[in-house]
Chains A and B, each alone.
Chain A
Amino acid sequence: MNCTDFEVLLADALGDELSVADRPAFEAHLAECEKCRREYETALRTVTTMRELSGPARVTVRREGDRLVIDDRPPHALRMPWWFRRGAFRYAASILIAFAAGYAVHAGLMMTEAGRPVDRVVAVGDGAGDVTSTSSLQQALVHTHVRNPARSDLAKCLIAMAKPTR
């Protein structure tokens, strides 16, 4: 293959349409001709760079009577749940999640303390009668309640919910 033949196949190669039959000759020419190799590499880099431009999220379009309506919220807004787009809900949810995470971590740490067998909790009663069959999180909450009943309203609620119906 000479450089003129290479030019003919260059568009195919850049467009990912080079045939299996032409590929070996094309690659062999690339290996032996410095000028053509440089041309191919810069052209390929151009196409790759153009593809780097970030694409859009899908817009939603619907017809209302004789009009076309496009949902023109910005792409990042389309991915958010409705409650997250309202400031008050967002802050309330953040606080609630932070509280729940902190509580769960705290309860988890208490569970790892040595010398606090679950059986001791069973004796307390107050809805914790079936505690040995409940989840570790519920057990942790019961521990918290036993240690400081005044500060464990959430634990009380969960214990009441876990209480088996008779």
Chain B
Amino acid sequence: MTLIGNPSGRGFEQYTGEVYGWAYRLLGRHHDALDVVQDVFLRWDAQCARQAPKQPRGWLRRVTLNRVIDLRRQRQRIAEPQASACAESTLAETRSPQDVGMRIDQEALRDDITTALDRLSDVQRSVIVAKVYDDMTFAQVAEELGLAVSTVKTHYLRAVGTVRDRLKRRWAEEESS
């Protein structure tokens, strides 16, 4: 069991699953995702003590994605032996050679996608995650972020373009091999 903070803020249970889901998708490791959940809710707690966010879901998504990016950056700074040890421990959770192959592919894909997300602005990042992973409509995203629908669409297209530029290298490698 993990004990998280002392939530003076409201609505923790309601959003924890979503925060965990965003973090897990982009980090791919259960305990890293829990670390992010813990950090995010400590910040939520502090924020609620000052002033509760008007759009809690949007606020949580933005803070979660920023924390995910920070964690990825920290991981990239880990020395090579430690990094390979982490990779081995991740692979140890897998069951078969097919699982190992799939896991490596997913890890590489996560690296590409989070690297691309790192290059986006906070708003672009929130828009693409809300559209792709939360299946929200442009109108819902616009309301949550307090923007015009046309602005959200522009952010979405730019975000997709940035991620596409990153993935193009991957696709070229796949096609050449």
A residues near B, CB below 8 A?
A: 7, 10-12, 14-15, 17, 42-43, 45-47, 49-56, 58-59, 61-63, 66-72, 74-76
A50 contact set on B, CB distance < 8 A: 113, 128, 132-133, 163
Q: Is B34 in contact with chain A by the CB < 8 A criterion?
A: yes
Binds A, one of B12-20, B49-57, B74-82: B12-20
Contact A72 B164 (CB under 8 A): no
Contact A15 B33 (CB under 8 A): no
Q: Is B145 in contact with chain A by the CB < 8 A criterion?
A: no
A47 contact set on B, CB distance < 8 A: 132, 160
Contact B167 A14 (CB under 8 A): no
A72 contact set on B, CB distance < 8 A: 1-2, 30-31, 34
Contact B12 A68 (CB under 8 A): yes
Shortest CB distance A97–B (Å) = 19
- Measured CB to CB, the nearest residue on chain A to B16 is A61
Which residues 82-101 of B have a CB within 8 angstroms of A?
A: 93
Q: A11-B156, A17-B137, A61-B12 are in contact. List 6 more A-B contacts (CB 8 A).
A: A11-B154, A42-B168, A56-B30, A59-B16, A63-B12, A70-B37
Sort chain B's interface into a size bin.
Answer: 35 or more
B interface SS class: helix
Shortest CB distance A90–B (Å) = 15
| In the bound complex, CA of A50 to CA of B164 (Å) | 10
Contact A59 B20 (CB under 8 A): yes
- Measured CB to CB, the nearest residue on chain A to B13 is A61
Contact A11 B153 (CB under 8 A): yes
A66 contact set on B, CB distance < 8 A: 6-7
Contact among A17, A58, A62 for B13, CB-based, below 8 A: A62
| In the bound complex, CA of A76 to CA of B29 (Å) | 12
- Measured CB to CB, the nearest residue on chain A to B154 is A11
Q: Is B5 in contact with chain A by the CB < 8 A criterion?
A: yes
Contact among A11, A15, A56, A68 for B21, CB-based, below 8 A: A56
Known contacts A15-B138, A42-B164; A70 and B156 CB within 8 A of each other: no
Contact B157 A53 (CB under 8 A): no
Known contacts A67-B6, A67-B7; A46 and B24 CB within 8 A of each other: no
Contact B113 A55 (CB under 8 A): no
Known contacts A12-B153, A55-B21; A67 and B160 CB within 8 A of each other: no
Shortest CB distance A57–B (Å) = 9
Contact among B2, B6, B109 for A70, CB-based, below 8 A: B2
Q: Is B115 in contact with chain A by the CB < 8 A criterion?
A: no
- With a 10 A CB-CB cut-off, give which of A17, A52, A72, A75 has the most chain B CB atoms: A72
Shortest CB distance B147–A (Å) = 13
Shortest CB distance B130–A (Å) = 10
B26 contact set on A, CB distance < 8 A: 53
Contact among A43, A55, A63, A74 for B93, CB-based, below 8 A: A74
Contact among B3, B20, B21, B106 for A69, CB-based, below 8 A: B3
Contact A10 B106 (CB under 8 A): no
| In the bound complex, CA of A56 to CA of B176 (Å) | 32
- Measured CB to CB, the nearest residue on chain A to B110 is A53
Q: Is B73 in contact with chain A by the CB < 8 A criterion?
A: no
| In the bound complex, CA of A87 to CA of B124 (Å) | 48
| In the bound complex, CA of A74 to CA of B95 (Å) | 14
